[in-house]
Amino acid sequence: MPNPLPDSCVMKSLLQDKSKPHILMSPPDYFTVAYAINPWMTQGAVDVDLAKKQWENLYHAITQKAGAQVHLMPPVDGLPDLVFTANAAFVYKDTAIIAHYKYPERQPEEPFCEKWFNENGYRTVTMPEDLFFEGAGDALIWKDRVFAGYKTRTDILSHHIITKETGLPVLSMELIDSRFYHIDVCICPLYNDYFLYYPEAFDEYGKRVIEANIPVEKRIPVTAEEASRFACNTVNINNTVIFNQGSHRLAGVLEEKGFQVIQLDLSEYLKSGGSAKCLTLRIA
């Protein structure tokens, strides 16, 4: 298991260290499927030891093969989904907009996430009590704009706060399939402005928004089968992409475009409705 917990000056060092991307993860010490808040969470018990091994493989791929630095948020007993750091916040420069979870099961995570960002030098923003927002799980930056999901977990009115706090324009995308309950399981902005996405997770309006914003040569649609393997839930660090195993067609497409593809077995996290990208958060 990787060691060091972040020191109190991580942000300062992050800002100084522009030589590599920085990723936030949280060890799966207490990971399990303790409740069912999405359609994936009904597939049986998690093999805890296997889940730890899979997480370590992801950590290793990110640090050793993709060359990023990983920082760790301490796990908390009783908060099994804290391992999915993608949902903790939406981070842009020194601002972290902290998640306010829709389901009460995950709301106890919020103060731990806020504490981590506060202690590490970020300007933290919290949502009003009546607005749900699930961090980078529902807000992803492509070039100079944010693609943000709403309706399943995140409220569309929270998108105003993203614009207010970051100055970034937000394209609000309705999520229409409960299996793809966060936007980070149906789109993934990639290196060189490529855009991985599962079109059927969106209605006709959402598809038109994608077509109006993303040049056709940059769009990489995935199939229904690949989407169900969480192919869009990809960790992208420069030209390296890391996703759950089994999407060989997609791997070939990405390799042709110059990506180094790493496929990992993340089966235990799929039982919770998450995969590679859900286990990470880009923080600098």
Partner 1 sequence: MPSSNFTIIELSGHIIDSLTLAKVIDKIQAAGCEYQINDLQIGQKKNDISTAQISVWTEDQPLLTTLLEELKPYGVKTLMDHAVDLEPCPKDGVVPENAYIRLNPPTEILYQDQWLPVERQGIDLVIVLDPKTKSAHLQKTKEVKQGNLVVVGDNGIKILPTLGENVHAQPVAR
Which of 57, 15, 24, 10 lies closest to 281, judged by CA?
Answer: 24
Binding stretches for partner 1 (CB under 8 A): 144-145, 150-151, 155-157, 159-160, 163, 167-174, 205-206, 208-209, 212-213
Going from the C-alpha of 208 to that of each of 142, 204, 211, 214, the distances in angstroms are 16, 6, 5, 10
**Closer CB to partner 1, residue 100 or residue 159?**
159
CB of 281 to partner 1, least distance (A): 23
**Closer CB to partner 1, residue 172 or residue 240?**
172
Going from the C-alpha of 284 to that of each of 102, 107, 116, 162, the distances in angstroms are 26, 25, 14, 17
Is 278 catalytic? The answer is yes
CB of 105 to partner 1, least distance (A): 21
Is 182 catalytic? The answer is yes
**Closer CB to partner 1, residue 59 or residue 150?**
150
Report the Cα 6 to chain-centroid distance in Å.
Answer: 20
Cα(204)–Cα(275) distance, integer angstroms: 27
Cα(91)–Cα(106) distance, integer angstroms: 19
CB of 72 to partner 1, least distance (A): 34
**Closer CB to partner 1, residue 76 or residue 168?**
168
CB of 166 to partner 1, least distance (A): 9
**Closer CB to partner 1, residue 43 or residue 213?**
213
Cα(100)–Cα(203) distance, integer angstroms: 26
Which of 207, 70, 91, 197 lies closest to 139, judged by CA?
Answer: 91
Cβ contacts of 244 within 8 Å, gap of 6 or more: 229, 230, 231, 233, 263, 264, 265, 266, 267, 270, 275, 276
Active-site residue among 186, 188, 232, 278? 278
CB of 205 to partner 1, least distance (A): 4
Active-site residue among 182, 186, 188, 232? 182
Catalytic machinery residues: 182, 278
